[in-house]
Amino acid sequence: MINQEEKKELIEMFGVHFEKHYNMSPLSSRILGLLIVDGCKAGMTFEELVTKLEASKSSVSTNLNLLLKIGRIEYYTLPGDRKKYFKAAPLSQRFNNYLSLLEDEKLITDRLMAYRKNHISCTAEARNLKHSIAYKEHILKVEALLMDTIEKFKEIENNN
């Protein structure tokens, strides 16, 4: 038997996590949490989300559009059924968003390192260059690990 109270607590934990670490709105955080916990198999319709979250249609609609735009959720339709079924985006897709962030970080860090190399005039700037080099090494390690993880997720997703 499903413990509804435990499910609500887990959805709330996800909600707080997404609010705190991803600067998402409270409702979009709860929508994503609900879809991760409760909608992972068949997805959830707009009406189900409105009912379960006890939120207005306009608020749910606005937050669904935001989540779609930032790639955190996706939807599908069924032939002959006008409803959209919303699901959390696959983990491989969500992790690809992190790869995009790392690409930006690499670009900025490379530009910063080039700038620092050309404009070192004191020991503090030399130290800052060393920090930039160490940070770039870190980014490359995280990128490799993330790419490996994405491949594992894709394999799992394709086998299910």
Domain count, the chain: 2
Within this chain, do residues 74 and 25 fall inside the same structural domain, yes or no?
yes
Whole-model pTM: value is 0.79
Residue 64 C-alpha from the chain's centroid: 14
Q: What is the pLDDT of residue 3?
A: 83
Within this chain, do residues 8 and 84 fall inside the same structural domain, yes or no?
yes
Which residue, 88, 121, 146, sits at the end of a domain? 88
Within this chain, do residues 69 and 103 fall inside the same structural domain, yes or no?
no
Structure token pair of residue 60: 């749910």
Q: Is residue 2 very low, low, confident or very high in pLDDT (cuts 50, 70, 90)?
A: low
Within this chain, do residues 56 and 114 fall inside the same structural domain, yes or no?
no
Within this chain, do residues 18 and 80 fall inside the same structural domain, yes or no?
yes
Nearest-angstrom CA–CA distance, 116 and 149:
33
The answer on pLDDT for 37 being more than 80 is yes
Q: What is the pLDDT of residue 149?
A: 94
Nearest-angstrom CA–CA distance, 124 and 50:
55
Tens-place pLDDT, residues 22-35: 999 999 999 999 99
Nearest-angstrom CA–CA distance, 34 and 136:
36
Which residue, 88, 114, 140, sits at the end of a domain? 88
Domain range enclosing 35: 4-88
User: Beta-carbon neighbour count of residue 20 at 10 Å?
Assistant: 10
